[in-house]
Amino acid sequence: MSGAPVPQGRYLPATRHGGLIFTSGMTPRAAGVLKVQGPVRAADSPEDWREAVELACANALTAARGQLHGAERITAVVSMTVFVAAEAGFTLHSKLADLASDYLFAELGAAGIGSRAAVGVATLPGGAPVEIQIIAAAG
């Protein structure tokens, strides 16, 4: 993952309050360009969407890391919300969220696993299939 996520509107990729970092919702974009579009179809396997989930998650983690000072690191992912733009009948939202959890575990170890929600929605910005937002602790 190279470079900070490029905002698609009037917002910051992440903000910090004390030791907590809050990211904006991140979609599977690289250099501001949406790389994968949805919606997730009822018959799709979660694996079909691994690239999209990992890119969105990488963007969220990059945005969070952009708020670190000096030798600080992410000490915990406190919470993660995974929004899935899925057609009616898709019920594996939590399996897509598992892909994001797997990515964070690979990057941060046990500190990458916190509470989470997987939420189905009708649409997401730009036609993205997933959007991921995290709250992280820094130290």
Residue 2 lies in a domain: no
Q: What is the pTM assigned to this prediction? A: 0.96
Residue 107 lies in a domain: yes
Looking at residue 117, its pLDDT comes to 98
Q: What is the CATH number of the domain that holds 114?
A: 3.30.1330.40
User: Could you give the CA distance from residue 134 to residue 51 in angstroms, rounded to a whole number?
Assistant: 18
Relative orientation angle of helices 93-108 and 50-65, to the nearest 10 degrees: 50
pLDDT in tens, 74-98: 999 999 999 999 999 999 999 999 9
Residue 117 lies in a domain: yes
Q: With 50 as the cut, is the pLDDT of residue 1 above it? A: no
Looking at residue 113, its pLDDT comes to 98
Structural domain for 79, as ranges? 14-138
Task: Please report which confidence band the pLDDT of residue 3 belongs to, taking 50, 70 and 90 as the band edges.
Answer: confident
Residue 137: both structure tokens together: 């602790």
Task: Please report which confidence band the pLDDT of residue 111 belongs to, taking 50, 70 and 90 as the band edges.
Answer: very high
Looking at residue 60, its pLDDT comes to 98
Residue 131: both structure tokens together: 């959007």
Tally of domains within the chain: 1
Looking at residue 4, its pLDDT comes to 81
Residue 1 lies in a domain: no
Question: What percent of the chain stands above pLDDT 70?
Answer: 99
Residue 134 lies in a domain: yes
Residue 124 lies in a domain: yes
pLDDT in tens, 45-66: 999 999 999 999 999 999 999 9
| DSSP conformational letter for 136 | E
Query: What is the mean predicted confidence (pLDDT) over 101-113?
Result: 98
